[in-house]
Structure 1
C-alpha cells in the first residue's frame, strides 16, 4: 500500500489511485519513480487513472476487477460514472485458502466483559424485555402497551423539543410574526428521564412493530417467525410478550417451533396472547400488562457477571459508505474481527449485494467445499432475482455512495468486504438462520442498512460495529450499535450520532492496529454497560424484517 497524505494506491496491482484530499488539475503524482500530472481536478475520496486506458480496459482496485472503461481515459484523469461501468470477475469453486496471519491477542486473552449469562450458555451485553406483534394487526395494541408501561416503569426519555413547541405556541398566541418564530432559540435534544427505574437490572422494554405476518407469501411469514424467534432467544433478551390476532399466516405455533429450533431448552419467561381467543381488547391488554409485569420481576433478578470475550458475537455493518470506508473504518473493523476470531468469538459479515466482486476470495476462504458452494449459490440466486426485477447487484451504490467516490458496486463491495478481516469463513447462513459456530460467519441479507442490522441481531449479534462515511442515524432495539466514522469531517459535523473517528487513519496519525485496539476497548466498555453508544442514547430502535423479494 503506497500512501502519501494526498493520494493512496491500495494494492500494487491497482491501476487507479484514491485522492485523500481535493487535488487540483495539474497536481504532480509520483508513483513507482514515475511522475505525471492530473488532467482533471479530483475530489477527495474519488479515483484517477495511473495509465492511459482504452474502451473495454479493466479497472482494478483492492487488487480485484471493479469496472471497465467506457471511453478512452487519459493518464491522470478522474474516474467517473461517465467513463467506466461496473464489472466483476466470474467465480467458481477454487482451492481452500485457510492460512491466515492471526493478530497477537496476548493483551486481550484474559480480558472480560460484564454480561448477562443465559441458561443456554450465551451471554448478553444487555437485558431487555421485548414486546412483539406476530402480525401488523396488533401494532396498535403494542402501542397501547408502550404507553402504559414505559413511563410508569421509568424507561422514557424527556420528550424531544416539547418545551420548544410550547414556547413557539406562546409566541404565536402573543402575536409574533413568522420571522420571530424562525429566530426563536431551540433547546438541546432529549436526555434520559430522571425517574427511577422500577426494575434497575432491566435495561429497557422494547416494542418491535412491523408490517408483516399476513397478506404476503408464506415464505415471508415463516422467515418472520424465524427472525422473531432469533430476537426472543437472543442473549440480550430476558423475556418477551407476543401479541397474535389468531388467523394470520405467522402463527404462534410456527414461532414456538422456531424458538425450539434455536434453543431446545428454552426457559425464559414468554407471554403469548391471541386476541381472537381472549375476547375484548381490554381483556387482552389487561392480561398482557399483568403477565409482562410478572415476567419483568423475573428478568430483574439477573445481574451482570464477568464473561470471556469469546462470548461476543459482533455484527459487521456499513451504511452511508464513502470513498474512505474501504481504507479506514472497514479495515480497522476487519482487524477487530480477526482479533475476536482469534479469541474464539463470532463475527457476522452480511450484505450480500456488497460482496459482489469478492466472491472468489471469500469462497476460497470457506472451511470446506460445501460451505463455499452454499455461498456461491446464495450469491447467484440473489443476483438472478434482482436482475429478473430489472435491478442486479450493479445497481447497489446509492446516490450518496456515488457522490462520495463509490461509483460501481464492485468498488463498494471490495471496500465493504474488508470488515470481515482475513480469517477463514466457518459458516454460511441464509436469513434468518442463527450463528452456532465461532469464527467468521457470512449471512445472506440485503445491503439495506436497517434490514441487514435487524437480521444480524436476529442471528445472534450482541453488538454491531457500523461504519459510515456520510453519517447514518440508525440503531437496534436490543443490541448496541457502535458508529465508526470513516473520516474526521463527518465525525466532527455529526457528533450526536458518531462514537469513534477512524479518519485519523486517513490523516496518518493512527495505524489500523492502533485503531483496532481503541475499538476493542470501546466494545468492552459498551458490552459491560459502562458506556452507551449514541444510537442507544438517542433511542434509535430501528427494526425492519426483510421480505425475501429484492432489496439491495
Structure 2
C-alpha cells in the first residue's frame, strides 16, 4: 500500500481525540474522512488534540476506550497534556460470556514454511544454542566472573573491543602533549581490523553468565521465585545445558531449583552441572571443576545442529519500551498482526507488562477462552494495582518522562496502545510470573512494565524470539533469546540504525499497511530464528538479565 502521508488520524470511530501524524500549527486546518479540524494551538507530531469542546470532567476516549478526563475547559483543536487531562480508566468485571471471535488472517503462504532450529528432547525447538553459567546466590557472582574471564576469550566468544584502539589513540595524544580541548575534538573512526575470534565450538552460539543480586536475604518467596526463573532458563529451548554455582547456605537451595526444573520439564535430560562451594572447598577446586565440567558439556552441546522445524514451534514474546505516541498505531499493531499469524499457525505468543494493560482489562478478560483464566487475570490486575497504591503509587504513575514528552500522557493511553501487541486472538492462558508457557496461542504473563524485568520474564516463560517495539530507542537485549527491535517512526530508525532492526514508521508514512508490515516482520523472524540474520541486540552483545522480585515495579 502506498499513498500520500496523512497529517492526522482518528484511531477509532468512538474517539474524541485525534492523533497528529506531523507537526501542526495553531490555526492550521487539516482534514480526515471528510471532516475538517482547525487547531487551537500548536500540536507536535505524536500528540493528540480534541475533536470537540470538552468541559471539566468530560471523558476522553482513544482506541475506543476511556483514557482520561478533562481537568479544564478544552476547545476543539486543543492539545491534550498532563496539565489539562488526568488519568482515568473504566472499571471491569467478569463478563457472562466469552468474546473469542477474532480476525483470523490468511496463513496459506506460511503453512509450509519452516525455520532452522535446534530440536530438544522435550519437543521444543530453539532459535539458538547456548550454555549457561548461573549463580544460585549473589555471593557466587565473583566466581561466575572468574569463569567468564577464563572461558569467553579462550573459546572464541570474546567480542571485538572496538573502542580500545580509540582509547589508546587518546592516551598517545595526551602523552604527546595534547590538552583536554584537543582530546575533545578527536573524531572516532572504527578500526576495520577488529574482528571476532574463531569459535572452538561452531554449533554453540555462546556461553552466557546470568549474574543477579538474589538468592538470599529478602523473603523465602523471593528465593522460590528466583529458582523458578532460573529453571525457566535452564529448560529453555535456546539452552543446551548449564553450570550452576551454589555457595551452599543460601535461601535458594539446589533442591528448590531441581523442584522448579521438574515442574517445567519432568523428563529433563540436558547436561546440568551443580557445584557447591562450601562442599568443594578452595576457589581453585571450585573453578577447575567448573571449567572441566563446562568444557565437557560444550562438547555435547556442539553435537546439536540446526534442522527444519514448523513455524508453530516458535514462541514469540511481545514487548515495548521507550514507547511514543506512534507506538500504538504503527509498531504495536504491526507485531499484533504477526502475533495473529503465528497463533493461526499453531504457535505461541506472550503478552506481558500488566501495568500497561490498565484500561483494557475488560477486553482482555473477555478474550480469555475460559472463565478461570478471566478471573485470574482480573485478580492479578486488581492485586497489582492495590499493591502499587499501598506503596504510594499506582498504574497512573507508569508513563515515563519520555513517554509523556512524546504523547503518552496517561497510563490508559499508553496501555490501550500497548495492548495492540497482542493482536485479536483469544487468550489461551493467563500465567503468573515466573510460570512457563505450555499452551499454543496468546498467553498473558504477569510482569512489570519495566523493559528488562519483563523481557527477562518472557524469556524465562519460553520466548525463543522477542519482538520489542520502541518509539524513543532502547538497546535492551537478552542473554539467550534474540530481541528484535522495531521502531514506531522512521526518524528513530534513521537516527539509531545500530540498535533498530525493523522500521514500522512506514505505516505512519503511508507506505505500508499494518498487515503488510506484520507479514514483513514474520519473514524477518524466520531469518533470525534460522540463524540467517542476527538481531542488533545479539550483534551488540546486549545481555540484559534482571529478575523481578515481585515487589511493586511499574
TM-score, shorter chain, exceeding 0.5? yes
- Does residue 162 (structure 1) correspond to residue 180 (structure 2)? The answer is no
- Does residue 331 (structure 1) correspond to residue 333 (structure 2)? The answer is yes
Q: TM-score, normalised by structure 1?
A: 0.98
For 1:160 and 1:205, the matched residues in 2 are separated by 21
Paired position in structure 2 for 1:455: 457
For 1:169 and 1:191, the matched residues in 2 are separated by 20
Gaps of 5+ in 1: none
**Displacement after TM superposition at 1:80 (Å):** 0.5
Paired position in structure 2 for 1:241: 243
Question: Which range moved further: 91-100 or 404-413?
Answer: 91-100
- Contact 1:23/1:42, CA 8 A, preserved across alignment: yes
Alignment of 1:250-329 (within 5 A): 250-329=252-331
Paired position in structure 2 for 1:131: 133
- Contact 1:237/1:478, CA 8 A, preserved across alignment: yes
- Contact 1:358/1:414, CA 8 A, preserved across alignment: yes
Paired position in structure 1 for 2:69: 68
For 2:430 and 2:164, the matched residues in 1 are separated by 47
- Contact 1:353/1:393, CA 8 A, preserved across alignment: yes
Equivalent position SS for 1:287: helix
For 2:72 and 2:264, the matched residues in 1 are separated by 53
For 1:36 and 1:337, the matched residues in 2 are separated by 35
- Contact 2:475/2:499, CA 8 A, preserved across alignment: yes
Gaps of 5+ in 2: none
Alignment of 1:339-358 (within 5 A): 339-358=341-360
For 1:319 and 1:400, the matched residues in 2 are separated by 10
Paired position in structure 1 for 2:517: 515
**Offset from partner CA, 1:422-481 (integer Å, 9 cap, x none):** 000000000000000000000000000000000000000000000000001110000000
- Contact 2:426/2:441, CA 8 A, preserved across alignment: yes
- Does residue 51 (structure 1) correspond to residue 52 (structure 2)? The answer is yes
Paired position in structure 2 for 1:19: 20
For 1:191 and 1:363, the matched residues in 2 are separated by 55
- Contact 1:463/1:480, CA 8 A, preserved across alignment: yes
Alignment of 1:210-221 (within 5 A): 210-221=212-223
**Displacement after TM superposition at 1:187 (Å):** 2.9
Alignment of 1:466-505 (within 5 A): 466-505=468-507
- Contact 1:320/1:468, CA 8 A, preserved across alignment: yes
**Offset from partner CA, 1:160-188 (integer Å, 9 cap, x none):** 31111111111111111212111122133
**Offset from partner CA, 1:63-102 (integer Å, 9 cap, x none):** 0000001001001111010000110000001120011120
Paired position in structure 2 for 1:178: 180
- Contact 1:157/1:192, CA 8 A, preserved across alignment: no
Equivalent position SS for 1:348: strand
Classify 1:79/1:469 alpha carbon distance in 2 versus 1 (closer, same or farther; 3 Å). same
Equivalent position SS for 1:229: helix
Residue in structure 1 matching 2:410, options 402, 408, 411: 408
Paired position in structure 2 for 1:153: 155
Residue in structure 2 matching 1:465, options 454, 467, 473: 467
**Displacement after TM superposition at 1:517 (Å):** 1.3
For 2:447 and 2:133, the matched residues in 1 are separated by 24
Residue in structure 2 matching 1:543, options 542, 545, 554: 545
For 1:190 and 1:44, the matched residues in 2 are separated by 39
- Contact 2:9/2:32, CA 8 A, preserved across alignment: no
**Displacement after TM superposition at 1:391 (Å):** 0.8
Question: Which range moved further: 313-322 or 95-104?
Answer: 95-104
- Contact 2:158/2:196, CA 8 A, preserved across alignment: no
Paired position in structure 1 for 2:81: 80
- Contact 2:5/2:509, CA 8 A, preserved across alignment: no
For 1:489 and 1:416, the matched residues in 2 are separated by 20
Paired position in structure 2 for 1:228: 230
For 1:132 and 1:192, the matched residues in 2 are separated by 30
For 1:288 and 1:190, the matched residues in 2 are separated by 36
For 2:90 and 2:216, the matched residues in 1 are separated by 40
**Offset from partner CA, 1:328-378 (integer Å, 9 cap, x none):** 000000000000000000000000000000000000000011110000000
Classify 1:371/1:41 alpha carbon distance in 2 versus 1 (closer, same or farther; 3 Å). same
**Displacement after TM superposition at 1:33 (Å):** 4.4
For 2:199 and 2:460, the matched residues in 1 are separated by 27
- What RMSD, in angstroms, separates the aligned Cα atoms of the two structures? 1.2
**Displacement after TM superposition at 1:222 (Å):** 0.5
How many residues are matched?
A: 550
Paired position in structure 2 for 1:446: 448
Paired position in structure 2 for 1:41: 42
**Displacement after TM superposition at 1:196 (Å):** 1.6
- Contact 1:230/1:434, CA 8 A, preserved across alignment: yes
For 1:196 and 1:266, the matched residues in 2 are separated by 31
Alignment of 1:90-109 (within 5 A): 90-94=91-95, 95-109=97-111
Paired position in structure 2 for 1:6: 7
Question: Which range moved further: 174-183 or 335-344?
Answer: 174-183
Q: TM-score, normalised by structure 2?
A: 0.98
Residue in structure 2 matching 1:203, options 202, 205, 209: 205
